[in-house]
Amino acid sequence: MWKKLFNSSQEKSEIKKELSILESLDPAKLPRHVAIIMDGNGRWAQGQGMVRTAGHAAGEKTLREIVRTASRLHIEALTVYAFSTENWKRPHTEVDFLMKLFSEALAKEIGEMDKENVRIGFIGRISELSPKLQEEFAKAVERTKNNTGVKFNLAINYGGQDEIVRAMQKMAIKVQAGELSPQDITPEMVDDELDTAGLPPVDLVIRTSGDIRVSNFLLWQAAYAEYYFTETNWPDFTPEEFGEALAEFASRERRFGGLKK
């Protein structure tokens, strides 16, 4: 059944390992929207006697593989936590390294992602990043905006509470202008004011590196998400383990507050 999803024998052999895990799955049970908290880069690097930033560089390679896999599995949306509103508290050298990594990785990968039909987006307070980075992000969005494959969103300078506050501010302005009555506000209207407007709700959140917490990621969108926690540090997370997370998701019974069918 899965084999039909891949266009050529070359594609099939490239993702042979993923196929071996996924071919037993029911494609109808794939999540539409996967979100990932890519944790453990620092621990991975320190465990190998390297500086923390080496872990981020390794994490970028992992991310490339996971985007490619999500694209080939025809997952509709993939959103990754690359930099939180709290990450500014880290040493300047690490923050600078990450900003440079975002810029360089984008420059390096944009051609390949465009070829893979990936549509790139950014969520978070992007307007507070350097003008150069904002321009690069805008160009990537523009270049890939007509692509119809996986919607790949990078959460940068992102916080879930901050995103909800910004959405409330936008709605309050409409109320103040007399365009909206408070009692008419619906969950769908809130959806439309979030940075993720137009994306499906999050079905599956993956968090690497052992911590079992949500860390202010997609608080509204993940209201009914399933969670997959793994001890694996992000640089060691493979397409095969991504497949295991998808298999685990497929085995969960989702009731959305209702009763067992």
Distance CA 65, CA 58 (A): 11
Amino acid symbol at 118? V
Phi, psi of 203 (to 5 degrees): -95, -35
Q: Per the residue annotation, which of 26, 87, 96, 146 is the catalytic one?
A: 87
- The reply on whether position 29 binds ligand FPP by CB under 6 A is no
What are the b/e assignments for 177-212, b being 16+ CB within 10 Å? Answer: eeeeeeeeeeeeebbebbbbeebebbbbbbbbbeee
Q: Is 154 in the site for ligand FPP (CB under 6 A)?
A: yes
Minimum gap (Å) between residue 192 Cβ and ligand FPP: 26
38 binds ligand FPP (CB under 6 A): yes
Q: What is the 3-state secondary structure (H, E, C) of 23-50?
A: CCCCHHHCCCEEEEECCCHHHHHHHCCC
Strands (DSSP E) contained in the chain are 33-37, 77-84, 119-123, 151-158, 204-207, 226-229
Min CB(104)–ligand FPP separation in Å: 8
Regarding 217 and contact with ligand FPP (CB under 6 A), the answer is: no
Q: Does 82 bind ligand FPP (CB under 6 A)?
A: yes
Question: Which tokens hold the place of 225?
Answer: 């998400």
Q: Of 2-10, 11-19, 41-49, 192-200, which segment contacts ligand FPP by CB under 6 A?
A: 41-49
Report if residue 157 touches ligand FPP, rule: CB under 6 A: no
Phi/psi of residue 223, each to 5°?
Answer: -50, -40
| CA 42 to centroid of chain Cα atoms | 19
Among 19, 35, 63, 75, binds ligand FPP (CB under 6 A): 63
87 tagged catalytic: yes
Q: Which of residues 39, 136, 195, 203 is near ligand FPP by CB under 6 A?
A: 39
Q: Which is nearer to ligand FPP, 25 or 54 (CB)?
A: 54
Is 39 one of the catalytic residues?
yes
- Site residues, ligand FPP (CB under 6 A): 38-43, 56, 59-60, 63, 82, 87, 98, 101-102, 105, 154, 209, 234
Residues with a catalytic annotation lie at 39, 87
